[in-house]
Amino acid sequence: MSLEAIRYQRGQLEILNQLLLPTQSVYEEIRGVEDGWNAIKLMKVRGAPAIAIVASLSVAVELVQHSFTSKDELLQFVGKAYERLLTARKTAVNVYKASESVRSYLSSLQDDVMEIKEKLLTFLEKMLTDDVADNKAIGDFGAKWITDNANKDKVQVLTHCNTGSLATAGYGTALGIIRSLHENGTLSSVYCTETRPYNQGARLTAYELVYENIPSTLICDSMAAVLMKERGIDAVIVGADRVAANGDTANKIGTYQLAIAAKYHGVAFIIAAPVTSIDFSCPSGDHIKVEERPAEEMLCFRGERVAAESIGCWNPAFDVTPADLISVIVTDRGAYKPAEIHKLQ
Ligand code: MRU
């Protein structure tokens, strides 16, 4: 069975606290919007699709506890809930898209308020199942693109941050492609970066790869260029928090330097993301707001200070990779060159 970051049944939501992995597997109950906001802000749950799903399901669990006398009251409740949830982390676009789709779905409903609530719950719950199906499609499209372009039976790839079952409802995006390659027998092995400063690669991706018995090796972020030079990497595969309309892509800090190193070494650079990660209202990467995280996440390890006292700290959580460094963007609707993603609108 694959790892479950999110456990849900109507009225009950639990998330695996990712801050405790890999040493402890502890599920925490999310009783409503405020718990959801906290879990996202503190990064107990993280990854663009998982943020959107947990936010939406936290609205669902609170909806179950309330009764509403009119559609307007329900609309107001949902509007306020998402308004709050959108402030937790600002770079990933998926939660904004979820909020828009929920509001427009709600406005289209004409039934009585009890039926509207029932339909809304089903709509929110469907996000969990849809995400797994989208990730499997990304996995298949991406594995095919890589094997078609690699001209060899087995490939070796590099990934960054965590884009697997822990960052989604299941299967994963970039890690979904790696999973598909492995299932098809076309993966020789995968390298994953530690992903400093918060170690999502060392803590989470390494854990998932070992859990799934996928041949894998951990490297420090600073080893990526020499890895490409000396160990024959066929593709770098990463996820996305927000893809701008021109294909510029915001993803975990360190992605941009991997793309530069990949270009230099002639290695394919692949973004794997559902269409819901594309922000067609954002013309280019210059317009993407990058979240800055607390200094402690860089200066301390598990509460213990590892950097010299009084040193300054700059801790952007993401960077933007320009479209011209990206070979292809693999979505749930197929693989597209960055200049072609407008076809997905
Ligand atoms: O800060 P995080 O851990 O939420 O960052 C996660 C990433 O950057 C992922 O690559 C991205 O959200 C895609 S997850 C499928």
**Tens digits of residue pLDDT in 1-43:** 678 999 999 999 999 999 999 999 999 999 999 999 999 999 9
**Which residues neighbour 1 within 8 Å (Cβ) at sequence distance 6 or greater?**
none
How many domains does the chain contain in total? 2
Q: Which of 87, 102, 131 is the last residue of a domain?
A: 131
Asked, for residue 1, whether it belongs to a domain, the answer is no
What does the alpha-carbon distance between residue 291 and residue 88 come to, in Å, rounded to a whole number? 10
- Alpha carbon 29 to chain centroid distance? 21
Q: Is 36 in the pocket of ligand 1 (CB under 6 A)?
A: no
- For 66-88, the DSSP string reads ---SSHHHHHHHHHHHHHHHTTT
Reported as a single tens digit per residue, the pLDDT across 71-101 is: 999 999 999 999 999 999 999 999 999 999 9
Query: Of all helices (H) and strands (E), which one includes residue 35?
Result: helix 33-41
Domain boundary at 84, 109, 131, which? 131
What residues contact residue 280 under an 8 Å CB cut-off, 6+ apart? 245, 342, 345
Q: Which of 252, 318, 319 to mutate to test the pocket of ligand 1 (most atoms within 8 A of CB)?
A: 252
Q: Check whether residue 74 and residue 60 sit in a common domain.
A: yes
Mean pLDDT of 319-327: 98
Span 235-262, mean pLDDT? 98
Last residue of a domain, one of 131, 146, 168: 131
Best residue among 40, 90, 242, 251 to mutate for probing ligand 1, ranked by most atoms within 8 Å of CB: 251
CA distance 166 to 20: 13
Q: Is residue 315 part of a domain?
A: yes
Whether 107 and 152 map to the same domain: the answer is: no
pLDDT (tens digit per residue) in 206-232: 999 999 999 999 999 999 999 999 999
Domain that holds residue 97: 6-131
Q: What percent of the chain has pLDDT over 70?
A: 100
| Mean pLDDT value across residues 323-330 | 98
Give the whole-angstrom CA distance, residue 261 versus residue 264: 5
Ligand 1 centroid from CA 257, angstroms: 16
Task: Tell me, using a 6 A CB cutoff, whether residue 241 lines ligand 1.
Answer: yes
pLDDT tens-digit map of 138-152: 999 999 999 999 989
Phi, psi of 68 (to 5 degrees): -125, 145
CB 231 within 8 A of CB 156: yes
Q: Provide the pLDDT for residue 1.
A: 64
Mean pLDDT, residues 248-275 taken together: 98
